[in-house]
Structure formats: structure tokens, C-alpha cells
């Protein structure tokens, strides 16, 4: 419809700025009509017991250390980080807060189960450094 109006305005020689505005609106509408295809990544999170919650713990810690930003280098929400990474690994991470609070509530008072992944990562890094 806007294309027809735009053509009619050009034919009647309306000012360029008015026609240009309509052209920009047409382009914006065309862009929003293009639905982004969901990522069909070959990358998947292992389905081994405890891996999903440990992945969430690691990403949560990296987020809290300000490892992530938006395209312009500004603040990005934790929800957006988990949504984006979940898409990349074909995993629904939208309930990350529930997973974190459930495992924290179930953790021993010494936090051993919560900290185990970080101890494993530390041990693995030492092993890598000693190769």
C-alpha cells in the first residue's frame, strides 16, 4: 500500500523529502517482515547429569564479572545473555534463575556442590598448563 502511495506522490512530483520518508518507512517495514531464522547450531550442551546447571553457574559468574556486553559495548541483561547462549547451544535457558536458586537451596551449607564446577575448571586449567 505504501509503495502505491509513494509511486503516486512521485508521479505528482511531491517534494523529495516527503517521498524519501515514505521510502524509508517501506524499507523498515520490509526489514521487520523478514523473520530471523532460528539458529540451527551443530553445537549442543551435553545432556550428562548436572552439566546444564554447571553451565548456568559458569555463565552466571562470567556475567557477574562483566564478561558480556551488547554490540556497542554497553550493558546487556543477564536474561539476554542466557537467551543468546541458549540459542547458540540449542538449549532453553529461560529458567536460569530457577535453576540457580533451586541448586543453591539444595547445596550444602559449605557450598561444595555449587563450587565443584569451578574447582574442576581450576584443576583442568592446571592440567592444560602442565602439558
pLDDT in tens, 59-98: 999 999 999 999 999 999 999 999 999 999 999 999 999 9
Q: What is the DSSP letter of 34?
A: S
pLDDT at 8: 53
CB 89 within 8 A of CB 45: yes
Average pLDDT of the chain is 81
Per domain, the residue ranges of the chain are 2-33, 51-129
Q: What is the DSSP letter of 48?
A: S
* pLDDT, average across residues 40-64: 94
Distances in Å between the Cα of 8 and the Cα atoms of 2, 11, 16, 22 are: 10, 5, 13, 11
Per-state percent for the chain, helix, strand, coil, to nearest 5: 65, 0, 35
Length of the chain: 131
Q: Which three cell numbers stand for residue 18?
A: 516527503
pTM of the model: 0.67
Please say if the pLDDT value at position 3 is more than 70.
no
* pLDDT, average across residues 6-17: 56
Amino acid at each position: 500500500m505504501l509503495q502505491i502511495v509513494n509511486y503516486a506522490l512521485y508521479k505528482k512530483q511531491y517534494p523529495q523529502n516527503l517521498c524519501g520518508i515514505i521510502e524509508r518507512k517501506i524499507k523498515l517495514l520490509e526489514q521487520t517482515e523478514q523473520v530471523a531464522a532460528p539458529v540451527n547450531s551443530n553445537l549442543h550442551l551435553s545432556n550428562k547429569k548436572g552439566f546444564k546447571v554447571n553451565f548456568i553457574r559458569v555463565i552466571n559468574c562470567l556475567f557477574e564479572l562483566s564478561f558480556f556486553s551488547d554490540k556497542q559495548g554497553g550493558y546487556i541483561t543477564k536474561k539476554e545473555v542466557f537467551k543468546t547462549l541458549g540459542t547458540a547451544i540449542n538449549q532453553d535457558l529461560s529458567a536460569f534463575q530457577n535453576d540457580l536458586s533451586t541448586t543453591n537451596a539444595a547445596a550444602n551449607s559449605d557450598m561444595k556442590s555449587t563450587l565443584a564446577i569451578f574447582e574442576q575448571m581450576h584443576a583442568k586449567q592446571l592440567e592444560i598448563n602442565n602439558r
